[in-house]
Chains A and B, each alone.
Chain A
Amino acid sequence: MKLPIKPAIFYPTLSIVILVFVWEATIRLSGWSEQVFPGPVIVFKAFLELLLDGTLFNHSVASLYRVTVGFYLAAILGIPLGILLGMHRVANSMVNPIVQFLRPISPLAWIPLAMLWFGIGDNPAIFLIFLSSFFSLVVATAIAVRTINPIYFQVAANFNFSGKETITKVVIPAITPDVVTALRLTIAVAWLVVVAAEMIAVQSGLGYLILDSRNALRMDYVMVGMIVIGFIGLFLDLIMQKLSKQDWLATR
């Protein structure tokens, strides 16, 4: 059988259609009311409503802004620190235990302190995003540095590379594939955390939309919020995936 459109598009579309069908069927068969479990048609209507009055756009931008700032901060501080720890044995044995100790603490556990330190608004949320990404990036970068083939450092020594040249010409290009993978995993976590953070400290964002809609008992809006979160997460991952498939990374 010849498909009317490309299989790469056809099958995912098919599975989404099936999912929507199962969703509708579940509601019909369970007998739950629309207030408890809204069906696809109602959710779609709510989606259009929130899209057209700009609510969705504003909340999405608010969430993406926090993730972007927190994530960039984590990358800008975490990757250089990871490089330092990867290259310096002493620095590593001093800092690594602290990093390893703080890393398993869920960023959500920091919420009380974050609110106390940064008040209400974007800052505590950004801080939580930062925490969710920072430690993983430090650890992943340090490991990437330590697993660089020692031959490359010998080449650097053989051609009298300065410390700076060793970092820019050997370390950074060598760890880039691993770091991009770490960024991809980390941004997914950051996106998970932003929604949770927005349920506590702020008055905007997709997390806030969900919480606020729950208080208003608008489960259709709640589900719109969830669906948009899913799509943006997918979109973020696609961007990172594109980035990791660049030619200049395929050199190992």
Chain B
Amino acid sequence: MSFIEIKNLSKNYVNRRNTKRAPDDPEQPGEMKVLDDINLEFEEGEMVCILGPSGCGKSTLLRIIAGFDTASSGEVIIDKEKVTGASSDHIFVFQQNGLLPWMNVWDNVELGLRHMENEEEKNERIQEYIDLVELNGFEYNLPCQLSGGMQRRAELARALAVKPDILYLDEPFTGLDYLTHLKIREEVVNIHEYIGKTMIMVTHFIEDALVMADRIIVFSERPTSIKMARKLDFSRPRNINKDPGLSELRDEIFLMLGVSYVA
């Protein structure tokens, strides 16, 4: 039995604006099928990247696994327990604005540790993770006083500080400039090597998936099904251009997603 199991999971959205459908349409009137009978398994400690065309429901799936959203049918089982809501053992790193903007970096990192009884231990832990993401000196800055990359690192610190079993990353590099993107990607890879926690990342950057993932899952267009699931046994650090296996896989995924030529 795997650490995370997704069984026959489907998700329909009610689309109020579009209630007229063709008579031979198998879907219910006004319903939009986003996820169609998804079955997936994740092993403990695995870093999985989910790719797919935009609007394919990959973020929706992640939000259902995290317990923020409910499935229309099917279930998610984590460590033998059915997911019914969010849990502080599984932390979600948001695409944007995940920090509470009225709290400084320190207070944000403290969120997950606020029930720790030993004040000294707690403060040490907060400082440890702020240092880990190299934000020392910015403890008392509000999120709006930080750059996009620093905000993302602060959120990572907040997520990691609770020592979660699972980290969900929803397009965590979106909106960052290219260099910051690469740097934070490297940090996430290092963190994964260092703490070895299960990570599930949704992204639309194919290169990120190739560099980071133990396994890549490619989703089809709506209603979503799994088009490809591939284990990556390449050693890290990876270089897509120098490793023919990786660049071949990249071209294959690009082709699968409808892009035939990549410079």
Contact = CB atoms under 8 A, between A and B. Distances in A.
A252 B101 contact: yes
A157 B85 contact: yes
Interface string B63-92: 000111000000000000000011110111
Contact of B100 (A157, A170, A176, A250): A170
B102 A151 contact: no
A157 B86 contact: yes
8 contacts: A149-B97, A154-B92, A158-B90, A158-B92, A159-B112, A173-B100, A176-B102, A251-B143
Interface in A2-27: none
Interface in A170-196: 170, 173-174, 176
B3 interface: no
A227 B102 CA distance: 40
Contacts of A248: 102
Interface of B: 66-68, 85-88, 90-92, 94, 96-98, 100-103, 111-112, 114, 142-144, 162
Nearest to B144: A251
A248 to B, nearest CB: 7
Given A158-B68, A159-B114, A251-B142, 12 more contacts: A151-B96, A151-B97, A154-B92, A155-B94, A155-B100, A157-B67, A157-B86, A158-B86, A158-B87, A159-B111, A174-B102, A251-B143
Interface of A is mostly: helix
B86 A251 contact: no
Contacts of A93: none
A45 interface: no
B88 A158 contact: yes
Contact of A152 (B91, B100, B114, B162): B100
A169 interface: yes
Contact of B98 (A151, A157, A173, A176): A151
